[in-house]
Amino acid sequence: MEYFRIGAWVSIILGTIMLVFNELIVKLTTGAKRIWRREDCPKLWDAVRQVTPWYARPYPRIYLVDDYGMNAFAFGWGLPFFSAVAATNGIIKNLSDEELKAVMAHEEGHIINKDILVTMAMTITVMMIAFTGWLLWRLAPYSSSNRRSSSDSSGNGWAIIIALVVGGVMYGMGRLLGYILQMFVSRQREYAADAASARIMGSPQPLISALQKIEGRANFGSQVAGAAVGFLCTADPDPSDFLSTHPTMDKRLQALRDLGE
């Protein structure tokens, strides 16, 4: 029980730090620069301001990433006064005004749906299971050895074996659970953010057009997507492998077309 308590507290503390300093971490890992006024980047400023619904205000903080890859993401706490969105120079340059609005509306959808908080809760749960298993694997044999030196119990050998097996299983389950949750939960939230963009824009067509331009270019020459994936909200890296956190582009486009019918 002691290991479970330690694992839970360590996971909660680390998760809280990741949430509280989320914006700072993203700024450091992506090189995002805060846009303080419209003159700094009129196109991005107007896009964010025009697609933020009244119930999602105050407006999220706006950041610009000096990168020629086509990407955008949401971060922060996902709560009023504590949310931010960012876009790369590449996506601002290559998308029309309406397409950029649709992409930023997608990121607003992540904020409205509290995806960052959901992801953090998911991360803490997975971390707690995996870290507790790691503690059992690494420390239980030593504690059993100490007990054996003070009390000659024949069951200590079995206790060590059980601790190692349970620890290994918990660690493996935690890692596997992390992949599964990323695959299914994150994918469903991407669909929900796409639907939010369609509602905000009044039509799915602007986002469809934007995604078609982004397709095959989201990660081209860019490390931004990789840095933002940990916070769930990338514009669309167009994944094709089974373990991706995003649905494939074809599925996203089809889902959007279905919304327009």
Question: How far apart, in whole angstroms, are the C-alpha atoms of residue 69 and residue 226?
Answer: 12
Question: How far apart, in whole angstroms, are the C-alpha atoms of residue 21 and residue 35?
Answer: 19
E-strand stretches of the chain: 33-35, 61-65, 72-76, 83-88
Of 25, 51, 49, 26, residue with least CA distance to 37: 49
Phi, psi (degrees; rounded to nearest 5) at 33 = -115, 135
From the list 23, 39, 98, 107, the catalytic residue is 107
Does the active-site annotation cover 98? no
Question: How far apart, in whole angstroms, are the C-alpha atoms of residue 93 and residue 110?
Answer: 23
Cα distances (Å, whole numbers) of residue 161 to 16, 43, 158, 173:
34, 62, 5, 18
Of 118, 123, 261, residue with least CA distance to 190: 118
Cβ contact 259:196 at 8 Å: no
Residues β-bridged to residue 35: 62
The residues annotated as belonging to the active site are 107
